[in-house]
Structure 1
Amino acid sequence: MRMPSQKSTGTLSAGSVQAKSPQRARGHARVAVLLEAAGCEFAEKGYDGTTMTAIAARAGSSIGSLYQFFPTKEQIAGALLERYVNMLAETFRKLREAAPTLDISVLASRLTRTFLKFRTSHPAFAVLAETYGTALPGTSSIREDLHGGIASVLAAMAPHVAPAEIAVRAAVVQQLMKAAVAIHGDAAIAGRKAAVDELEGLMQHYLRDTISLAG
Structure 2
Amino acid sequence: MASRNASHSDDDVRADAKAPRRERGRARVAALLEGAGAEFAEKGFDAATMTAIAARAGASIGSLYQFFPTKDVLADALLEAYLATLMEGLGQLREAAPTLDVATLAHRLTRALVAFRAAHPAFAPLVETPGRSLPAVVGVRERIRAEIAAVLRAKAPGMKAAEAQVRAAVVQQLMKAAVAIQSEASFAHRGAVIDDLERVMMRYLDETFGDPGAGASRGKR
C-alpha change, 1:135 and 1:35, in structure 2 (3 Å) is same
- Residue 109 in 1 paired to residue 111 in 2? no
Letter in 2 for 1:31: V
From 8, 11, 25, the counterpart of 1:15: 11
What residue number does 1:118 align with? 116
RMSD over aligned CA atoms reads 1.5
- Separation in 2, partners of 1:164, 1:65: 48
- What's the TM-score once normalised by structure 1's chain length? 0.89
Kindly, what percent of the aligned residue pairs are identical?
60
Deviation for aligned residue 1:116: 0.2
Q: Which has the bigger relative contact order, CA under 8 A and spacing at least 6? A: 1
The aligned length equals 201
Summarize the alignment of residues 129-140 of structure 1 with structure 2, pairs less than 5 Å apart: 129-132=127-130, 134-137=132-135, 139-140=137-138
Deviation of 1:131 after TM superposition, in Å, equals 2.8
In structure 2, what is the Cα distance between the partners aligned to 1:163 and 1:117?
28
The offset of 1:185, in angstroms, is 1.4
What is the alpha-carbon distance in structure 2 between the residues aligned to residue 19 and residue 124 of structure 1? 21
Conservation of the 8 A alpha-carbon contact between 1:119 and 1:125: yes
Correspondence for 1:97 among 82, 95, 98: 95
Contact 1:47–1:128 (8 Å) recurs in 2: yes
CA displacement at 1:188 relative to structure 2: 4.8
Post-superposition, which runs of at least 4 consecutive aligned residues in structure 1 deviate over 4 A?
none
SS of aligned partner of 1:189 = coil
Provide the residue aligned with 1:88 in structure 2: 86
- Mapped to 1, the partners of 2:160 and 2:188 lie a distance apart of 40
| Higher alpha-carbon deviation: 134-143 or 149-158 | 134-143
Q: Deviations over 1:121-170 (max 9, x none)?
A: 10001110123462525514111110111111011011112110110000
Amino acid at match of 2:172: Q
From 186, 204, 207, give the equivalent of 2:205. Answer: 207
TM-score, normalised via structure 2 length: 0.87
Residue identity opposite 1:109 in structure 2: H
Query: Which sections of structure 2, spanning at least 5 residues, go unmatched?
Result: 1-8, 212-221
- The equivalences for 1:56-67 within 5 A come to 56-67=54-65
Equivalent in 17, 38, 48 of residue 36 of structure 2:
38
Q: 2:147 aligns with which of 146, 149, 166?
A: 149
Task: Find the residue that maps to 2:52 and give its secondary structure.
Answer: helix
Q: Secondary structure at the match of 2:158?
A: coil
| Maintained 8 Å contact 2:94/2:154 | yes
The verdict on how the C-alpha distance between 1:21 and 1:95 changes in structure 2, with shifts beyond 3 A counting, is same
Q: How many Å apart are 1:21 and its aligned residue?
A: 1.0
Q: Which amino acid aligns with 1:180?
A: A
SS in 2 for 1:134: coil
| Structure 2 residue corresponding to 1:50, chosen from 43, 48, 55 | 48
Shift of 1:15: 2.1
User: Residues 71 and 109 of structure 1: is their aligned pair in 2 closer, same or farther, counting only changes over 3 Å?
Assistant: same
1:192 to 175, 190, 201: 190
Distance 2:58 2:175 in 1: 37
Instruction: Give, in whole Å, the separation in 1 of the partners of 2:79 and 2:69.
Output: 16
